[in-house]
Amino acid sequence: MRETTVKPNRGYGRWTPFWFLAPAVLTLFVIGIYPTIFALVTSFRQYNIARPREGFPFVGFDNYINVLSDSTFWASLLLTARFYITVLPIQLVLGLIIALLLHKPGLGLLKSLARVVLVVPLATTYAVVGLIGRLIFNREFGVANQFLDVVGIGGIDWLGSQGGAFAAIVIMDVWQWTPFCALILLAGLSMVPGEIEEAARLETRSKLAMLRYVQLPFLLPSLTAILIMRSADVLKLFDMVFVMTRGGPGSATDLVSIYIQRVGFRIFDLGTASAQAILLLILTILISRLYIRVLYREVN
Amino acid sequence: MSFLQLDTIKKTYGDVSVIKGVSFAAAKGEFVVFVGPSGCGKSTLLRMIAGLEDVTEGHLYIDGKDVTYEEPAKRELSMVFQSYALYPHMSVFENMAFGLRMAKVPEAEIKTRVTEAARILHLEPLLDRKPRALSGGQRQRVAIGRSIVRHPKIFLFDEPLSNLDAELRTQMRVEIAKLHRDLGTTMVYVTHDQVEAMTLADRIVVLRAGLVEQIGTPTELYDRPANTFVAGFIGSPKMNFIKASVTGVGSGSLTLANPSFVGGTLSVETVSTGRVKAGDTVIVGLRPEHLELNAAQPLLSLTLDFAENLGGATQLYSRSEGDIVAIVVHGRPDVKPGDTLRVGIEGRHIYLFDANGLAL
3-state secondary structure of A55: coil
Residues of A in contact with B87 (CB under 8 A): 196, 199-200, 213-214, 217
Q: What is the mean pLDDT of chain A?
A: 89
- With CA atoms as reference, report the closest residue to B359 among B234, B230, B212, B217: B230
User: Can you identify the CATH homologous superfamily of domain B4-233?
Assistant: P-loop containing nucleotide triphosphate hydrolases (3.40.50.300)
Asked if B73's CB is within 8 angstroms of A300's CB, the reply is: no
Length of chain A: 300
Give the containing element (helix H, strand E) for A284: helix A270-295
Identify the band that residue A150 occupies on the pLDDT scale cut at 50, 70 and 90: confident
Asked if A193's CB is within 8 angstroms of B85's CB, the reply is: yes
Q: Where do you find CATH 3.40.50.300 in chain B?
A: 4-233
Q: Where do you find CATH 2.40.50.140 in chain B?
A: 240-354
- With CA atoms as reference, report the closest residue to B320 among B257, B268, B242: B242
If you ran DSSP here, which 8-state letter would residue A54 be given? G
Return the half-sphere exposure (C-beta side, CA atoms, 13 A cut-off) of residue B182.
11
Cβ atoms of A229 and B98 closer than 8 Å: no
Identify the band that residue A13 occupies on the pLDDT scale cut at 50, 70 and 90: confident
Interface residues on B facing A, Cβ-Cβ cutoff 8 A: 50-52, 71-75, 77-79, 81-83, 85-89, 98-99, 102-103, 132, 146, 150
CATH number at residue A189: 1.10.3720.10
DSSP string, A157-206: -TTTSHHHHHHHHHHHHHHHHHHHHHHHHHHHHTTS-HHHHHHHHHH---
Return the half-sphere exposure (C-beta side, CA atoms, 13 A cut-off) of residue B238.
11
Q: Give, in order, the Cα–Cα distances in Å from B274 to each of A226, B131, B249, B250, B252.
A: 76, 61, 9, 10, 9
> How many Å lie between the alpha carbon of B285 and the closest alpha carbon of chain A?
41
- With CA atoms as reference, report the closest residue to B190 among B4, B9, B33: B33
Total structural domains within chain A: 1
Q: Is B200 exposed, middle or buried (0-12, 13-18, 19+ CB in 10 A)?
A: buried
- The answer as to whether A148 is a domain residue is yes
- The answer as to whether A106 is a domain residue is yes
> How many Å lie between the alpha carbon of B102 and the closest alpha carbon of chain A?
6
User: What local confidence, expressed as pLDDT, does residue A7 receive?
Assistant: 60
pLDDT 10s digits, B212-243: 999 999 999 999 999 999 999 998 889 999 98
Residue B249 CA to residue B230 CA, distance in Å, equals 26
Suggest the residue from B43, B76, B89 to mutate for an interface test with chain A (most A CBs closer than 10 A).
B89
Nearest to B85 among A199, A205, A297 (CB): A199
User: What local confidence, expressed as pLDDT, does residue A97 receive?
Assistant: 94
Note whether A104 contacts B: Cβ–Cβ < 8 A.
no
Suggest the residue from A201, A202, A210 to mutate for an interface test with chain B (most B CBs closer than 10 A).
A202
- The answer as to whether A52 is a domain residue is no
Identify the band that residue A5 occupies on the pLDDT scale cut at 50, 70 and 90: low
Asked if B89's CB is within 8 angstroms of A199's CB, the reply is: no
Asked if B78's CB is within 8 angstroms of A202's CB, the reply is: yes
Domain hosting residue A140, numbered range:
70-295
Residue A49 CA to residue A221 CA, distance in Å, equals 45
- The answer as to whether A63 is a domain residue is no
> How many Å lie between the alpha carbon of A178 and the closest alpha carbon of chain B?
28
- The answer as to whether A290 is a domain residue is yes
Chain centroid, CA B163 distance in Å: 17
Residue A164 CA to residue A245 CA, distance in Å, equals 11
Q: Is the pLDDT of residue A106 over 80?
A: no
Nearest to B89 among A193, A205, A299 (CB): A299
- The answer as to whether A217 is a domain residue is yes
| Nearest chain B residue to A210, by CA | B102
pTM of the complete model: 0.80
Q: ipTM of the predicted structure?
A: 0.82
Asked if B78's CB is within 8 angstroms of A206's CB, the reply is: no
- With CA atoms as reference, report the closest residue to A237 among A251, A263, A256, A264: A256
| Nearest chain B residue to A219, by CA | B89
| Nearest chain A residue to B86, by CA | A196
Q: With both helix axes pointing from N to C terminus, report the angle between A71-103 and A108-123 in degrees, rounded to the nearest 10.
A: 170
Spatial neighbors of A182 by CB under 8 A, at least 6 apart, are A94, A95, A96, A98, A99, A102, A118
Spatial neighbors of A196 by CB under 8 A, at least 6 apart, are A214, B85, B86, B87, B88
**CATH number of the B240-354 domain:** 2.40.50.140
Work out the number of other CB atoms within 10 angstroms of the CB of residue B333: 16
Q: Is the pLDDT of residue A49 over 70?
A: yes
Which strands form B4-13's sheet, in the order they lie side by side? Answer: B16-26, B4-13, B57-62, B65-66
Nearest to B81 among A195, A205, A299 (CB): A195
If you ran DSSP here, which 8-state letter would residue A20 be given? H
- The answer as to whether A22 is a domain residue is no
- CA B230, B233, B235, B239 dihedral sign is positive
> How much of chain A exceeds pLDDT 70, in percent?
96
Asked if A195's CB is within 8 angstroms of B102's CB, the reply is: no
> How many Å lie between the alpha carbon of B147 and the closest alpha carbon of chain A?
10
Q: Is the pLDDT of residue A185 over 70?
A: yes
Q: What is the mean pLDDT of residues A25-41?
A: 93
Q: What is the mean pLDDT of residues A65-79?
A: 93
Asked if A204's CB is within 8 angstroms of B99's CB, the reply is: yes
Nearest to B73 among A193, A201, A217 (CB): A201
Work out the number of other CB atoms within 10 angstroms of the CB of residue A290: 13
Residue B39 CA to residue B45 CA, distance in Å, equals 11
Note whether A204 contacts B: Cβ–Cβ < 8 A.
yes
User: What local confidence, expressed as pLDDT, does residue A255 receive?
Assistant: 92
Asked if residue B237 has a cis previous peptide bond (ω within 30° of 0), the answer is yes
Q: What is the mean pLDDT of residues A27-45?
A: 93
- CA B288, B294, B296, B299 dihedral sign is positive
Q: Is the pLDDT of residue A105 over 80?
A: no
Q: Which parts of A70-120 are beta strand (E)?
A: none
User: What local confidence, expressed as pLDDT, does residue B51 receive?
Assistant: 92
User: What local confidence, expressed as pLDDT, does residue A6 receive?
Assistant: 61
- The answer as to whether A25 is a domain residue is no
Nearest to B98 among A195, A213, A300 (CB): A213
If you ran DSSP here, which 8-state letter would residue A53 be given? G
Q: Which residues of chain B have pLDDT under 70?
A: 1, 273-274
Identify the band that residue A39 occupies on the pLDDT scale cut at 50, 70 and 90: very high
> How many Å lie between the alpha carbon of A299 and the closest alpha carbon of chain B?
6
> How many Å lie between the alpha carbon of B210 and the closest alpha carbon of chain A?
23
